[in-house]
Structure 1
């Protein structure tokens, strides 16, 4: 009984999720992320840099379908999961949702703009519209 009360208590809070047809995180432009070396190991940084196309987008991002072509095999720094965020950024599990949501919103705004359809869809998906 206690569990269901807690679940109800927190059910209205925003929870991080990925939304289809976005791809903002696939914009890897290193100039927009000057702190990469602070949270990626040297071999991860080299892999990251090898994935950046001439246009700043990941070479594995399919622009036409707006999907990752290596989704199941994508590197750890492309995965938004509590354990990855704890390793990379030192974010405790309890702070994961808030931090991940803020990261996504910031990236979407930077790539598509504050008034973009992508941001509206994202905010609607997380219940923050």
Structure 2
């Protein structure tokens, strides 16, 4: 193998590592609790909760306007609860952790998804 081929493989490996690291990348967003403030998933949950298990958000959750919602992630990998309409809510939660966010104050149906796993979708109902 030539030096050029070895260098190309090293660059490719670095790119794969960087892409994999994206699964734990966090940013701040309105109505969001960064993953760095997430707590370990232990103990009972007080109030409304979205529980993530096996890459699934579960059934739609109905809450009053402005309710504090706990996201319990029982998977080993990080997830997000990100509104499909930008800026409504976006919370990141690491594997086997929990985080909280405030529900929108306007009644309605709020579809959401996981930015790391776009096939994971759910609905928050505010009424």
User: Given the two structures, how large is their TM-score scaled by the length of structure 1?
Assistant: 0.26
Where relative contact order (Cα < 8 A, 6+ residues apart) is larger, the structure is 1
Structure of larger gyration radius: 2
More helix by share: 1
More strand by share: 2
